[in-house]
């Protein structure tokens, strides 16, 4: 259909996206398709997540961090399945605010993260939209055949673990919106987590080796553990007292008048991009060892039981959280 800006797409692809292209499989972005040779003995793992300005990122978020977040939230899905990423396809819906400098920033963000995470652009397209800037990314990774971790494998008696800290997604959003009062370095740390979360790719192989079920914490720990419980047909008991908090979140938490409600907020906020997983107790020592080797915090937050859905405990009592978690619709 007729376009308003004939030069835009070609220029964007030629000057900004081609330098990001996979050296072999993207065909220089000149051929509408990527061509991926089969990798015998491996499964291809695919995920696709979208982001909309004003819904999944803020209108004043810099576009280099928007690009990074887009890539990272997808890589986080792969990490939770135990997959090693290698590439992605990208659709950009550029809004009015996406002029050439903004597109350059977006591509620069991708370039940095491609180098950091070892992935390349495989294809996609760019279009203009009269609406908010929006992006969709399809990320691809490998696992050895049959080894992708699902949500469905949790067994009664398994333990529940989570990497890193929970709650920086929610507090980061509030920090980025200017809604928090904390020391500047705490606010900066939270804003940085919100804009550029760290997918736990260095822990993916450990999850693959030891986890019975796994999920990345994107909808909120409550919601994501509920997914695991339902898909596995088990109950999951989460001990809110041991929820791992970052230094910044601890500073925020110290001033709360209702600690239980505050922990519930953090556990339902989402956007954490940690890996929550279940594993047989015999693997606990190995898991702790592998986490220590990677300087990665690992917290045992609960257990899997015969039952149905998520049970939250606080101070040894079962509690009913006011909220179960956000969704992204």
Please give the residues from 66 up to 105 whose contact with its own copies meets the rule CB under 8 A: 77-78, 80-81, 83, 89-91, 93-95
Does position 322 interact with its own copies (CB under 8 A)? The reply is: no
| Cβ atoms of residues 301 and 243 within 8 Å | yes
Closest CB to its own copies among 129 and 241?
129
Write out the binding residues for its own copies, residues 164-193 only, by CB under 8 A. Answer: 173
Of 193, 227, 236, 304, which lies in the binding site for its own copies, with binding defined by CB under 8 A?
A: 227
> DSSP H helical segments within 46-183, as ranges?
63-80, 100-117, 168-176
Cβ neighbours, 10 Å, residue 1 = 2
Tokens of 194: 């919100």
Among 132, 157, 259, 307, binds its own copies (CB under 8 A): 132
Stretch that binds its own copies, among 105-113, 137-145, 235-243, 280-288 (CB under 8 A): 137-145
The reply on whether position 221 binds its own copies by CB under 8 A is no
Instruction: Report how far apart, in Å, the C-alpha atoms of 133 and of each of 15, 195, 327, 329 are.
Output: 20, 16, 20, 16
Out of 65, 134, 226, 239, point to the residue binding its own copies (CB under 8 A).
134
Q: Least distance to its own copies from the beta carbon of 289, Å?
A: 27
Do 298 and 207 contact (CB within 8 A), yes or no?
no
**Which region, judged by CB under 8 A, interacts with its own copies, from 123-131, 204-212, 237-245, 313-321?**
123-131
Q: Which of 15, 39, 288, 289 is close enough to bind its own copies by CB under 8 A?
A: 39
Q: 20, 107 in Cβ contact below 8 A?
A: yes
Identify the residue among 102, 104, 112, 125 touching its own copies (CB under 8 A): 125
Asked if 155 interacts with its own copies (CB under 8 A), we say no
Question: Quick one: which of 138, 155, 260, 313 contacts its own copies (CB under 8 A)?
Answer: 138
Nearest distance in Å: CB 150, its own copies: 5
Of 274 and 314, which CB lies nearer to its own copies in the complex structure?
A: 274
Q: Is residue 251 part of the contact set for its own copies (CB under 8 A)?
A: no
Q: Out of 155, 231, 260, 313, which residue is the one contacting its own copies (CB under 8 A)?
A: 231
The answer to whether 166 and 245 are in contact (CB under 8 A) is: yes
**242 near its own copies (CB under 8 A):** no
Among 12, 191, 212, 262, binds its own copies (CB under 8 A): 12
Secondary structure letter of residue 21 according to DSSP: B
- For residue 10 the two structure tokens come to 């070609």
Cβ–Cβ < 8 Å for 204, 82:
yes
> Quick check: 106 and 63 in contact, CB under 8 A?
yes
DSSP conformational letter for 96: T
Q: Contact, 104 vs 140, CB < 8 A?
A: no
Torsion angles phi and psi, residue 156, rounded to 5: -50, 135
β-strand 309-314 against 317-319: which pairing, if any? antiparallel
Tell whether residue 127 is a contact of its own copies (CB under 8 A).
Answer: yes
Q: Report CA-CA distances (Å) from 204 to 155, 182, 194, 200, 225.
A: 20, 33, 21, 7, 18
C-alpha 290/C-alpha 192 separation (Å) is 26
The yes or no reply on residue 321 touching its own copies (CB under 8 A) is no
Judged by CB under 8 A, does residue 55 bind its own copies? yes
Is 34 a binder of its own copies (CB under 8 A)? Answer: yes
Closer to its own copies by CB, 91 or 313: give it: 91
Is residue 136 within the footprint of its own copies (CB under 8 A)?
yes
Under rule CB under 8 A, residue 33 binds its own copies: yes
**Binding-site residue total for its own copies (CB under 8 A)?**
79
């Amino acid at each position: 259909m007729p376009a308003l800006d004939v030069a835009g797409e070609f220029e964007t692809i030629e000057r900004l996206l081609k330098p990001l292209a996979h050296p072999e499989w993207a065909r220089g972005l000149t051929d509408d398709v990527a061509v991926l040779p089969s990798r015998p003995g491996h499964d291809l793992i695919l995920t696709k997540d979208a982001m909309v300005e004003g819904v999944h990122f803020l209108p004043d978020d810099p576009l280099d961090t928007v690009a990074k977040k887009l890539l990272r939230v997808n890589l986080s899905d792969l990490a939770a399945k135990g997959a090693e990423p290698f590439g992605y396809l990208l659709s950009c819906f550029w809004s009015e605010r996406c002029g050439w400098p903004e597109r350059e920033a977006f591509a620069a963000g991708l370039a940095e993260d491609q180098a950091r995470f070892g992935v390349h652009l495989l294809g996609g397209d760019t279009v203009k939209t009269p609406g908010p800037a929006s992006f969709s990314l399809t990320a691809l990774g490998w696992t050895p055949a049959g080894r992708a971790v699902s949500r469905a494998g949790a067994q009664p008696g398994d333990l529940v673990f989570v990497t890193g800290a929970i709650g920086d997604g929610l507090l980061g959003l509030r920090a980025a919106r200017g809604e928090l009062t904390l020391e500047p370095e705490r606010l900066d740390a939270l804003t940085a987590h919100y804009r550029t979360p760290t997918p736990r790719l260095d822990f993916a192989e450990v999850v693959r080796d030891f986890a019975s079920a796994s999920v990345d914490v994107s909808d909120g720990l409550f919601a994501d553990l509920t997914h695991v419980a339902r898909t596995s047909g088990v109950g999951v008991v989460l001990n809110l007292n041991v929820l791992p908090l970052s230094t910044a979140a601890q500073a925020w938490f110290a001033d709360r008048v209702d600690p239980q409600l505050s922990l519930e907020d953090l556990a339902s906020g989402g956007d954490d991009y940690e890996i929550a997983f279940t594993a047989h107790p015999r693997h606990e020592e190995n898991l702790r060892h592998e986490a220590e080797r990677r300087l990665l915090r690992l917290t045992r937050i609960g257990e899997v039981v015969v039952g149905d859905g998520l049970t939250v405990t606080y101070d040894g009592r079962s509690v009913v959280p006011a909220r179960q978690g956000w969704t992204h619709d």
